[in-house]
């Protein structure tokens, strides 16, 4: 008898949790995340699912069919990710994976027999917390990023992705995508905002994802003594960075958009030295591609002007940019309409966005998050809402996989 939702949730709770903050450190291809990957395979096999893994560690566990029979394009896949941001919450990712397994159980207990294959998926490095490129696993699986480009990515310790994979017992040639034959993708996710709280709804459907990107700002100046160097003689990249962070915040607030500098590296990072370099990462999001371009352009312009006044230099590089995602409106209406679920947009990126951009009809379900906080140990969801999410997902899977192939609208 496979574990139920609450048992599975308890299994995951201690893995990768910080004793001091209560947050999670589940970076891809490292011990805590690998432990979860092993746990997932065990749970899938306990349910008799057929587990398929690719060279990156993406997994799809199939219900009741051999994987070769999914080649007709009719399979319905649901799942999420098991990695976390640094000091992240418990729900972002794992809620969708555990709910997917529990939804399979619920469908079986209802006596449901799918007409189309159902797969439960886990995509690796969704957060980009280690190699800097969000949704790396799904981007590789859909071909949005090539293996040649990805293998050159390096983590903070300078480890190449190819070596990180090898250390985790993975890697090699990417081979055929796991997503060959997938006709519909559904991701259930904790809401990363308070729309559902405001609407008093436990479950909602996503309309789309805002365009967003990550940009690396390299500010360079001249290292010098913090005591003996006169203020007017300095070329201090920290000042240029600080003004840039303020400008980004102001630009985003004025436009009703989002701009965040959440990570910086300082060289030499010494208390009594003027720094020689500051590298900072801008995360920017806006409701349309053109407004994102405007926002990012305005921040870069102000940063460059400031650099010329500070005697510093600036190079900006876009590390990843994701266009606007509109999930299939017909699918969203079909799922949400009869059930009275609200349809809401999000400014958070997801693997579902990558699959949608790759042409797979995609839907997302959100589960209410009472704090609205995410990417933090404060992220939460009530058990009743989680269970409502499982039932909602089971209903959606029943509807999508009960249709004969070719009839999805």
The residues of the shown chain that bind Zn ion, judged by CB under 5 A, are 92-93
Q: Assess contact for 383 and 243: CB atoms under 8 A.
A: no
Kindly give, in sequence order, each residue whose CB lies less than 8 Å from that of residue 236, ignoring residues fewer than 6 positions away.
221, 274, 275, 310, 312
Q: How are beta strands 273-274 and 224-225 bridged, if at all?
A: antiparallel
| Minimum distance of Zn ion from residue 88's CB (angstroms) | 9
Q: Whose Cβ is closer to Zn ion: residue 134's or residue 299's?
A: 134
Q: Is 227 exposed, middle or buried (0-12, 13-18, 19+ CB in 10 A)?
A: exposed
Q: Assess contact for 83 and 126: CB atoms under 8 A.
A: yes
Closest residue to Zn ion, based on beta-carbon distance: 92
DSSP string, 68-137: GGGGGS-EEEEEE-----TTB-SSTTHHHHHHHHHHHHHHHHTT---SS-EEEEE-S-SS-TTTS-TTHH
Q: How are beta strands 118-122 and 59-63 bridged, if at all?
A: antiparallel
Output the CA angle 59-65-70, nearest 5 degrees.
Answer: 70
Q: Whose Cβ is closer to Zn ion: residue 75's or residue 348's?
A: 348
DSSP 17: B
| Minimum distance of Zn ion from residue 99's CB (angstroms) | 13
Q: Assess contact for 16 and 87: CB atoms under 8 A.
A: no
DSSP 67: G
For 167, 356, 373, the CA distances from 116, given in Å and listed in that order, are: 36, 20, 36
Q: Whose Cβ is closer to Zn ion: residue 123's or residue 241's?
A: 123
Tokens encoding 21 = 């903050």
Q: Whose Cβ is closer to Zn ion: residue 84's or residue 207's?
A: 84
């Amino acid at each position: 008898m496979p574990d139920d939702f609450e048992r599975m949730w308890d299994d995951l709770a201690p893995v990768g949790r910080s004793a001091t903050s209560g947050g999670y450190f589940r970076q891809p291809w490292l011990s805590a995340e690998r432990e979860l990957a092993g746990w997932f395979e065990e749970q899938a096999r306990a349910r008799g699912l057929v587990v398929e893994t690719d060279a990156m560690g993406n997994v799809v566990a199939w219900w009741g069919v051999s994987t070769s029979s999914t080649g007709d394009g009719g399979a319905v896949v649901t799942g999420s990710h098991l990695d976390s941001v640094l000091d992240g919450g418990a729900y972002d990712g794992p809620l969708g994976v555990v709910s997917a397994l529990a939804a399979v159980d619920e469908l079986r207990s209802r006596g449901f027999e799918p007409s189309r294959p159902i797969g439960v998926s886990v995509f690796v490095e969704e957060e980009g917390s280690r190699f800097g490129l969000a949704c790396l696993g799904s981007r590789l699986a859909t071909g949005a990023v090539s293996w040649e480009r990805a293998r050159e990515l390096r983590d903070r310790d300078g480890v190449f992705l190819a070596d990180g994979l090898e250390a985790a017992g993975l890697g090699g040639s990417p081979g055929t995508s796991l997503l060959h034959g997938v006709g519909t993708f559904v991701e259930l996710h904790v809401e990363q905002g308070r729309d559902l709280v405001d609407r008093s709804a436990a479950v909602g459907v996503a309309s789309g994802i805002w365009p967003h990107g990550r940009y690396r700002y390299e500010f360079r100046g001249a290292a010098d003594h913090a005591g003996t160097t006169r203020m007017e003689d300095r070329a201090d990249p920290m000042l240029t960075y600080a003004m840039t962070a303020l400008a980004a915040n102001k630009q985003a607030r004025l436009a009703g958009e989002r701009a965040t500098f959440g990570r910086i590296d300082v060289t030499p990072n010494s208390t009594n030295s003027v720094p020689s370099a500051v590298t900072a990462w801008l995360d920017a999001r806006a409701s349309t591609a053109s407004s994102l371009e405007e926002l990012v352009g305005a921040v870069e312009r102000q940063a460059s002007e400031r650099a010329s006044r500070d005697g510093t230099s600036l190079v900006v590089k876009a590390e990843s940019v994701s266009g606007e995602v509109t999930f299939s409106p017909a699918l969203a209406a079909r799922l949400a309409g009869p059930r009275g679920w609200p349809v809401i947009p999000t400014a958070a990126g997801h693997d579902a966005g990558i699959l949608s951009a790759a042409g797979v009809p995609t839907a997302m379900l959100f589960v209410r998050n009472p704090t609205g906080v995410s990417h933090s140990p404060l992220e939460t969801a009530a058990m009743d809402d989680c269970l409502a999410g499982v039932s909602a997902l089971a209903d959606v899977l029943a509807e999508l996989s009960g249709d004969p192939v070719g009839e999805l609208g």
